[in-house]
Amino acid sequence: MIKLLLVEDDQKEALVIKKMLKEGLQNQFTLEHSLSVSGALDLVKKHPFQAIILDLHLPDGKSFESIPQFIQYCPGAPILILSGVEDEERAIQAVKSGAQDYLIKGQTSSSTLCRAIRYAMERHRATQRITQLAHYDHLTGLANRGLFYERLNCAVARCNRNDTAIALIFLDLDHFKEINDTLGHDCGDSLLKTVATRVKKCIREIDTGVRLGGDEFAVLLEQIISVEDVASVAQRILHLLAQPVIVNQHQLHVTGSLGITIYPWDSANPQELLSHADAAMYRAKAQGGNTYQFYTAGMKTAGLDGSTLEVELRRALTKQEFLLHYQPQFDFATKQVIGMEALLRWHHPYQGLVGPNHFIPQAEENGMIIPIGEWVLRAASKQAKYWEKQGFPAPRVAVNLSARQIHQGNLPALILDILQSSHLDPENLKLELTETFLIHETDETLQTLREIKAMGVHLYIDDFGAGYASLRYLKSFPVDGIKLDQSLIHHLPHNSNDAAIVDAIISLGKAMGLQVIAEGVETQEQADFLEEHGCDAMQGYWVAPPLPANESAQHMVHTCSR
């Protein structure tokens, strides 16, 4: 049974429409009739309808202006406009206002009207489904990340207008990965749905529950009165989370770490609010989990410093937040791109794209460089093999190695496994060692490099000329080339000292049979100087910036015209 609302002030027209509906829908409908916009709005506030038929000309207001109100109070009902005038512009205006169709009185038959109602209902359901998919998490039904950002910005705007406050709570489940790995993704998904249900029980209708992704959730609390009220919500969430969950006859116990920040007390903008909630959540996790922490001034943001970095880097690996950009290397002699350097980036969920300088030094210290470095090697080799299969002229990829990776002992075996699993030709893999590594020469590391070299992999010394190592080390290392440190390139050709050093290193490289590549080339003058002095290749923004794989590949198939 279809429940319809007819808004028509002409009784004769209303009778005609009722008759058409009776013929076309064969009494499979109920109909409410209102003579005015105000009366119709009163009806939709009290009763749900499946479709609304709205006359264009009503005595108490313009129908176009009333459409948003009907949508607000009865969002599930498509709106069909009836007009006595055929007017294409008005029809377009009706659709832009939110109507599903525009029908002309006197030209509309019973079958046309009823078909239009059915189609409008189907289109409306499809639109609602698309909106649901676009704004809500398919697993839990909570708002997704996109809708969360929209609501957060709107909530901040309301705070500014009304001088009120909001609270943002980030929730990360403790040890969820172990449950997922042990019992499987189906059990993990069931647990996440239970967590979402429990979070929803702790908040009001005006609040927003969000699944940010994986086992990360957020809660946006609006119109808060006191910090104590926010703490009470956090305590309720933790209490409900701690209740056992039965999944596939397994009794699971899950806890969470909550980070809380309040606008406008803690920050001046939504982006800061996200970082503060994230920092507070990691402080809670660092304390062992199953607790909440309010943000306080001085907390490190986003876990990029301090003792929580290792936890977040492990999470980044698990949740595939790392990605590679590629920067082309351009050969002066052939005027062609001869390879790509893989450069690591971290797509942080709240801070966006984070460069390696912000986390690699700490990863070196805490040992996370080992699993991260392995991921980079595997990802870059897989990408190079893809380029190789596609027939790109220069599928060679360069990857930076840290001293810690070389000292781990099993590097040759790891590289051999990566080459075999990716089916990559060893000729298409270049490994770059920082110049500072040279001062730590040992028999073991030399043997490691010789084993890698024997596979057919190319070895280069990166950042050469930074001043740390003696040139004599080049004799003992089985390298194929050197890369001039960009600090030497920056002031070329005007700085005479740098020019002399670069010229000498190029000459040295030539004498030793090494390829010389310049990094950080940004101007035509720098490129001209390097080419004139016999440098083999260059990379830098003058050729192209680091780009995602699909964009950087374009530089492989085109000759550089600089």
Q: What is the pLDDT of residue 124?
A: 79
In the predicted structure, residue 468 carries a pLDDT above the cut 90: no
In the predicted structure, residue 406 carries a pLDDT above the cut 90: no
Q: What is the mean pLDDT of the segment spanning 92-119?
A: 87
Q: What is the pLDDT of residue 555?
A: 58
Q: What is the pLDDT of residue 560?
A: 44
Q: What is the mean pLDDT of the segment spanning 373-396?
A: 90
C-alpha count within 13 angstroms, C-beta hemisphere, residue 527: 20
In the predicted structure, residue 463 carries a pLDDT above the cut 60: yes
Radius of gyration of the chain (CA): 32
Taking the C-alpha atoms of residue 237 and residue 173, their distance in angstroms, rounded to an integer, is 12
Question: Residue 95: pLDDT band by 50, 70, 90 thresholds?
Answer: confident
Q: What is the pLDDT of residue 419?
A: 95
Q: What residues contact residue 336 under an 8 Å CB cut-off, 6+ apart?
A: 330, 393, 394, 559, 560
CB count in 10 Å sphere of residue 202:
21
Distance linking the first and last C-alpha atoms of the chain: 71
pTM for this model (two decimals): 0.52
In the predicted structure, residue 326 carries a pLDDT above the cut 60: yes
Is 359:376 a contact under the CB 8 Å cutoff? Answer: no
Question: Residue 559: pLDDT band by 50, 70, 90 thresholds?
Answer: very low
- Domains identified in the chain and CATH numbers: 2-135 (3.40.50.2300), 145-299 (3.30.70.270), 316-555 (3.20.20.450)
Is 502:533 a contact under the CB 8 Å cutoff? Answer: yes
Q: What is the pLDDT of residue 439?
A: 57
Is 301:359 a contact under the CB 8 Å cutoff? Answer: no
Q: Is 375 exposed, middle or buried (0-12, 13-18, 19+ CB in 10 A)?
A: middle
Region of 343 on the Ramachandran plot (φ > 0 left; ψ -120 to 50 alpha; else beta): beta
CB count in 10 Å sphere of residue 305:
13
Least trusted range by pLDDT, from 441-450, 454-463, 502-511: 441-450
In the predicted structure, residue 302 carries a pLDDT above the cut 50: no
The secondary structure element, H or E, covering residue 364 is helix 360-366
Query: Which residue intervals of 104-244 are DSSP H helices?
Result: 110-135, 145-162, 176-183, 185-201, 227-241
User: Tokens representing 120?
Assistant: 């409008």
Question: Which regions of 352-453 does DSSP assign to beta strands (E)?
Answer: 352-354, 397-401, 429-434
Higher-confidence position of 452 and 487: 452
Is 449:412 a contact under the CB 8 Å cutoff? Answer: no
